[in-house]
Amino acid sequence: MLEKVLKYIQKKKLVEINKLKKDLSISDEDWEVILLQLKDLGLLKEIQNLDSEKCKSCPYVKSCSQQCLQSGILYLLSPGMDQNSE
């Protein structure tokens, strides 16, 4: 499932967690485990304490729903993981 989640994120680039969970049929409980594993493996980086100033420098600012501002947390693929792997 981890590989499936990573491929989904790599393909979509900008992902809303609720949509990811719905599209991949992942429960809230399973998502928490997957998220913890991805962070522990160094595949996802968590950024907290977001504010509108940080959004201005985001490459996705024009297509973003800004849900990360509402939650205060943004997850990014770690460097090297943002390339599509075949």
Give percent of the chain with pLDDT exceeding 90: 24
Q: What pLDDT does 54 receive?
A: 66
Answering whether pTM is above 0.75, one says no
CA gap 44, 27 in Å, rounded: 19
Per-residue pLDDT band for 84 (boundaries 50, 70, 90) equals very low
Instruction: List, for residues 3-29, the tens digit of each pLDDT value.
Output: 999 999 888 777 778 888 999 999 999
Nearest to 37 by CA among 13, 6, 15: 6
